[in-house]
């Protein structure tokens, strides 16, 4: 059984030692809904982890999961990498959305370009981290023509995302407060 207190204590120890680590989640698990996964993300990010990654469930040949896949409504590709794309608890659209959320997690948290601003916005606004990631997916979808240096392009657009976020959640006053810290972080990453 998962022991949240013990896990939290371990994450605190890793953070205190400033060690790099990665927490790995798997989507489309039996009985796991999209909402369950979002709740897990909110809890994990409250611990300030180094990195959180979501992997697609692989239904490998000859495993117990493959034998029981239909019982759980798990539909998956029957060729490598055998990725699940639907279950009784998670729709195909939700699984696709999780793939986009993974990219949002990378850009907003893991890259550290927006991390401090993300955590400050969450703290000051009360908006869940998972909601901010979902907002980013919507905002980022407006960029159809993606240049070769797309991650750097997005970094430069970070102030626009902050403004979008503040307006969407009726927290426009936070834009002026959080923008200087974001710009300072963008300047730092542009010289690396």
Dump the DSSP string for 87-120.
-SSS-HHHHHHHHHHHHHHIIIIITSSSHHHHHH
- Give me the residues paired with residue 23 across strands: 52
pLDDT tens profile 18-45: 999 999 999 999 999 999 999 999 999 9
> What is the chain's Cα-based Rg?
18
Q: Cα separation of 3 and 73, whole Å? A: 28
pLDDT in tens, 152-173: 888 889 999 999 999 999 999 9
**Which pLDDT does position 147 carry in this prediction?**
77
139 closest CA partner among 101, 113, 109, 191? 101
What are the sequence ranges of the domains in the chain? 1-110, 112-192
Cβ-contact 83, 77 below 8 angstroms? yes
pTM: 0.89
CATH of domain 1-110: 3.30.750
DSSP 35-53: HHHHHHHHHHHHT--S-EE
pLDDT recorded at residue 144: 82
Say which residue, 156 or 66, is predicted with more confidence: 66
> What's CA 20's distance to the chain center, in Å?
18
Taking the chain, what is the end-to-end CA distance rounded to the nearest angstrom?
Answer: 43
* 112-162 per-position pLDDT tens digit: 889 999 999 999 999 999 999 999 999 999 988 877 888 888 888 999 999
> In terms of Cα–Cα distance, which of 14, 24, 21, 28 is closest to 56?
28
126: left (phi over 0), alpha (psi -120 to 50) or beta: left
Which residue in the block uniquely carries the two structure tokens 């790995």?
24
Among 48, 74, 47, 44, residue whose Cα is nearest residue 59: 74
């Amino acid at each position: 059984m998962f022991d949240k207190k013990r896990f939290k204590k371990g994450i605190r120890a890793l953070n205190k030692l400033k060690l790099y680590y990665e927490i790995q989640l798997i989507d489309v698990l039996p009985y796991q809904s999209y909402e369950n996964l979002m709740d897990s993300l909110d809890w994990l990010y409250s611990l300030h982890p180094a990195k959180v990654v979501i992997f697609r469930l692989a239904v490998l040949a000859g495993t117990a999961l493959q034998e029981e896949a239909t019982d759980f409504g798990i539909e998956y590709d029957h060729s490598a990498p055998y990725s699940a794309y639907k279950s009784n608890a998670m729709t195909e659209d939700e699984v696709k959305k999780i793939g986009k959320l993974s990219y949002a997690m990378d850009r907003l948290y893991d890259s550290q370009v927006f991390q401090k601003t993300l955590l400050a916005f969450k703290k000051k606004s009360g908006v869940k981290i998972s909601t901010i990631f979902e907002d980013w997916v919507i905002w980022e979808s407006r960029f159809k023509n993606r240049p070769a240096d797309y991650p750097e392009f997005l970094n430069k657009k970070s102030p626009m995302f902050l403004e979008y976020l503040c307006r969407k959640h009726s927290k426009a006053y936070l834009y002026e407060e959080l923008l200087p810290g974001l710009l300072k972080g963008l300047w730092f990453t542009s010289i690396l």
